[in-house]
Amino acid sequence: MDKNKEYFMKIALQEAKKAALIQEVPIGAIVVYDGKIIGRGHNLREHSQNTIDHAEMVAIDEACRNLRSWRLADCDLYVTIEPCLMCAGAIINARVKNVYYGAPDYKAGAAESLYNVFNDSRLNHLVHAEGGILSTECGQIMKDFFKKARKKRKAQKRANMVEK
Amino acid sequence: MDKNKEYFMKIALQEAKKAALIQEVPIGAIVVYDGKIIGRGHNLREHSQNTIDHAEMVAIDEACRNLRSWRLADCDLYVTIEPCLMCAGAIINARVKNVYYGAPDYKAGAAESLYNVFNDSRLNHLVHAEGGILSTECGQIMKDFFKKARKKRKAQKRANMVEK
């Protein structure tokens, strides 16, 4: 495993942990240009109540503002979970060079699971995509989050029954 | 043709015209809930230098803020041109009910041209999508825009040659 990729994925994981801390589905992303992080984001959808606020979109938004350009050519994006259609589309539209992700998303992933849009030569930009970077850690934080959420819901249900 | 759909598409076309006026690729979109327009947007990518600022995304962003919800269930989205992967993904993520669009986008459309993501039963939400609403008008404003842009580029080229 490329040490550099692990280094940056660990930073994306830190972003994912920030999401977990505020009870958001723990996904984190960063955009890297010339070895520097120019965009960071974690999932904020529940807090902002905005559909668009997936980790990748927040990171892309910041990167565009930092570079003052909608083109993120020669940029790499690291994200802990395989991107969905919206985020993959944004990555293509932004002309991102490389996407590195951690764990696959079998229900909504657009890089390998349901679609493989980064490799679609009909589109005007191809993205090199590579999954499996710190896959276990990236997947585990999601599993822990959903396990905790289920436990909380069960406890709540029990409490409601006692009240009745 | 449903008069109601034409009525709302005309408003999306007004948005597209706003984009043309500021030299943006003329695409417009609106989000409608319970007969009311709760989100409007036109393409702003060049002005904002932000990849995300397609017409549909701007309209969805406003609609989420107005409803204070990332879920746009029971909302309809009207857009002058077939949505790209990013925008189609956002429409699915937002649980939009119906999408009505004008002209197809053979190079990047994700509703019929390259993909048909709205009808993908593997995803957690299906969107009813219908193209061809005021298709000629929606396509013409694009053709006019690109014709004008080509003319401008040619004139500029000639001027540069004269200068030399």
pLDDT tens digit string along B53-84? Answer: 999 999 999 999 999 999 999 999 999 999 99
Q: Residue A122: which of B50, B64, B114 has the nearest Cβ?
A: B114
Q: Tokens standing for A41? A: 């984001």
Report CB contact under 8 Å: A92, B107. no
User: By residue range, what is the domain housing residue A33?
Assistant: 3-163
Neighbouring residues of B131: CB distance < 8 A, sequence distance ≥ 6: B82, B100, B101, B102, B103, B104, B111, B112
CATH number, domain containing residue A50 = 3.40.140.10
Residues B35-52, mean pLDDT to the nearest whole number:
97
The complex's ipTM works out to 0.94
* Minimum distance, in Å, between the CA of residue A103 and any CA atom of chain B: 18
Q: Which residues of B touch A86 (CB under 8 A)?
A: 85-90, 92-93
**What Rg value do the Cα atoms of chain B yield, rounded?**
17
Which of A52, A120, A123 is nearest residue B90 as measured by Cβ atoms? A52
**Binding-site entries of A:** 54, 84, 87
* Chain B contact probe: residue of A50, A51, A97, A114 with most B CBs at under 10 A: A51
**H helices present in A22-109, as ranges:** 45-48, 55-67, 85-93
Interchain pair B46, A72: CB under 8 A = no
Question: Measured between CA atoms, how close is A47 to chain B, in angstroms?
Answer: 10
Instruction: Give the sheet arrangement for strand A36-42, strand by strand.
Output: A36-42, A28-33, A75-81, A98-103, A128-130
Strand-strand pairing, A98-103 and A75-81 = parallel
Q: How far apart are CA A130 and CA A139, in angstroms?
A: 16
- pLDDT averages per 10-residue partition of chain A, 164 residues: 87 98 97 97 98 98 98 98 98 98 98 98 97 98 95 90 78
Q: What is the pLDDT of residues B100-152, one digit of tens each?
A: 999 999 999 999 999 999 999 999 999 999 999 999 999 999 999 999 999 99
Q: Chain A contacts of B46, Cβ < 8 Å? A: 70
Q: Please count the other Cβ atoms lying within 10 Å of the Cβ belonging to residue A35.
A: 8
How many domains, in total, are found in chain A?
1
Q: Do A61 and B72 touch (CB under 8 A)?
A: no
